[in-house]
Amino acid sequence: MAFAKEEVALAMKLTADGGSSTEEEAAIAMKLTEDGGSEDEEEEPALPVNLLEHHDGSCSEEADGGLGGWASAGSSTLSVHHDHAPPPLAATAEDVPCAHRRKPSGRYVLAAHRADEKDGLCREITCAPKPKVTYRVAGWVALEGGPSADSGHPVHVEVRTHEGARVGGGVLVAEPGKWAEIKGAFRVDEHPRRAEVYVHGPPAGVDIKVMDLRVCAVDKIARLRHLRKKTDKVRKRDVVLKFNPRSEDGNDDAAAAAVKGASIRVVQVENSFPIGACISKSSIQNPAFVDFFTKHFDWAVLENELKWYYTEPVQGQVSYADADELIAFCDRLKKPVRGHCIFWAVENSVQPWVRALNTDQLRAAVESRIRGLVARYSGRFPHYEVNNEMLHGAFFRHRLGDDIDAHMFRETAAIDPAPALFVNDYNVESANDPNATPEKYVALITDLQRRGAAVGGIGVQGHVTHPVGDVICDALDKLAATELPVWITELDVSAADEAVRADDLEVVLREAFAHPAVEGIMLWGFMQGHMWRSHGQLLNADGTISQAGNRFMGLRQEWTSHARGKVDANGHFKFRGFHGKYVVELAAGAGGKQVRRAFDVHKGDAPLVVDMNL
């Protein structure tokens, strides 16, 4: 058995400088290249190590009355039950080995008589988690009894160390009477003496049921294999270059014969999947920043300079000078600019003079802001984020009524119909925020559309910590049901350890690039000293490239197609390449005359046949 060359390269990269977070992961990666194995052959994978089990694989049920290691947290009382109609097997990920073979057991632990939101159940992680390894929390929860809620109740799955520090976990919103899949992740920086999982969150009186909770290390190699195949299907296409030479003297047969066997080189000059970054007035004064941005990014977004608090910090004193300077900078580099943002829904991001206005004054100020900004830049921005972070803030809605958000979209579209109008929010992809579940995001979008808002895209910010691929993919799948394009709009990963940061960045980039609903990625900064989050840089302050920067550049190179060869006897040259713009160079005839042509590869399932008339 042998892996494809690309897969071996991915495995080897994990063992390269900065590529793997642990020696164990490096050994796994090297094993791929030593043992081989065909991705088309079914292998019998080893069962994952569940850190909630004892070293002998047992849960000591006899010793604890059948509770399998669970204990009460707070005032709750625990009991064991069996559901004869367990939840259907969820579409869990390649991140959890053998997940597809693990049917829900139906056996669950019930936490009843809860007197507080913090009451619930806990369980010790008996096998200590290893530092800098990402772990996946998976299982099912359900609720019963207590006060009803149309949107369900949040359930928190927290992982805490012996000091009580929360190191990760997840949050879901569960509806009473329905099983919901737990999705969580965590990582520790140092060996903990003890770690526990806590499950809590619903109001007092609501019982919590937990079934088949597992804590397993993420299988990066399995996920990379899966994403490589998915990326090939989603982002690439078979191409046939068909040469039909014409001779000036009418001897077309001779011209065709001269082309057969000619050397050919195909170079991709632009990928149709843009990756951009935010810029600021200060960052473009740094030559190292400008050089990296110019070479490695396709689009730009202004970090702050277009926001209302920046352009009008004092009522009536409006200035777009800094925004104009940055837009002119991007125009010179021929890089499109996203419009971020017209409004910001979170109250503490609204400047004081706006918060001090009465209702009529605020409505007039909103109308003035829309007219002033949107008319000034009409036709300049391909995207606008209209009212930022509506899942986490409702300043304008509380003051001006439920329709104001949709009104902002309607008025923007009326003044400038060209840009796609985006919603934009954070934590949607992380499964750690009850206010920002994919379901709530879809409900927000649906309500805007019902009110006549022309929502043209979904922004998923992506300020992530210890990301897990299948959790991100699950969120993207749910957003894709809207049939709207999705952009990762503000991506940054924060990890002091450079190798961990590089791995985390790769997780998000690969998931986004492989997902058919995602149409672009914007990094929220990339250089130390010019970023909102610390420990997220691709480029260090001294201009040197970090491990994350090298990983980023490697992925961009991997996602670019080049091909060399010779034209076959039928006058064809075949290759499979990423969607985007290409240039072909052909050396034909006895003198090896160079012929150069440009062509585009668009999405499509059938092979693309391009007539290359010479």
User: Burial of 195 by CB count in 10 Å (0-12 exposed, 13-18 middle, 19+ buried)?
Assistant: buried
Among 268, 206, 219, which Cα is nearest to 46's?
219
Q: Which two tokens stand for residue 149?
A: 């809620």
Question: Tell me, what DSSP letter sits at residue 486?
Answer: E
Maximum Cα interatomic distance, the chain, rounded to a whole number of Å: 95
User: Burial of 88 by CB count in 10 Å (0-12 exposed, 13-18 middle, 19+ buried)?
Assistant: exposed
Handedness of CA 211, 212, 215, 216 (dihedral sign): negative
Q: Please name the amino acid found at residue 550.
A: N
> Are the C-beta atoms of 216 and 135 separated by less than 8 Å?
yes
- Strands (E) across 311-356 are located at 337-344
Q: Is 53 a catalytic residue?
A: no
> Who's near 413: CB < 8 A, 6+ residues apart?
421, 454
> Exactly one of 7, 429, 490, 498 is catalytic; which is it?
490
> Exactly one of 303, 389, 506, 511 is catalytic; which is it?
389
d(CA 267, CA 56): 56
Q: Helix and strand tally (H, E) in the chain?
A: 15, 26
> Are the C-beta atoms of 20 and 552 separated by less than 8 Å?
no
d(CA 315, CA 311): 10
> Are the C-beta atoms of 191 and 131 separated by less than 8 Å?
yes
d(CA 513, CA 124): 37
To the nearest 10°, report the CA torsion of 184, 187, 192, 194: 10
> Who's near 36: CB < 8 A, 6+ residues apart?
1, 2, 3
Query: What element of type H or E holds 479?
Result: helix 469-480
User: Burial of 267 by CB count in 10 Å (0-12 exposed, 13-18 middle, 19+ buried)?
Assistant: middle
User: How many alpha carbons fall within 13 Å on the CB side of residue 60?
Assistant: 13
> Are the C-beta atoms of 493 and 501 separated by less than 8 Å?
yes
Centroid of chain to Cα 410: 28
Neighbours of 245 (CB within 10 A): 22
Q: Is 34 a catalytic residue?
A: no
Q: Which two tokens stand for residue 557?
A: 């190179």
Q: How far is CA 509 from CA 171, 185, 218, 534, in A?
A: 23, 18, 17, 19
d(CA 89, CA 140): 10
Centroid of chain to Cα 299: 17
Q: Which two tokens stand for residue 454?
A: 């022309």
Catalytic residue set:
389, 490
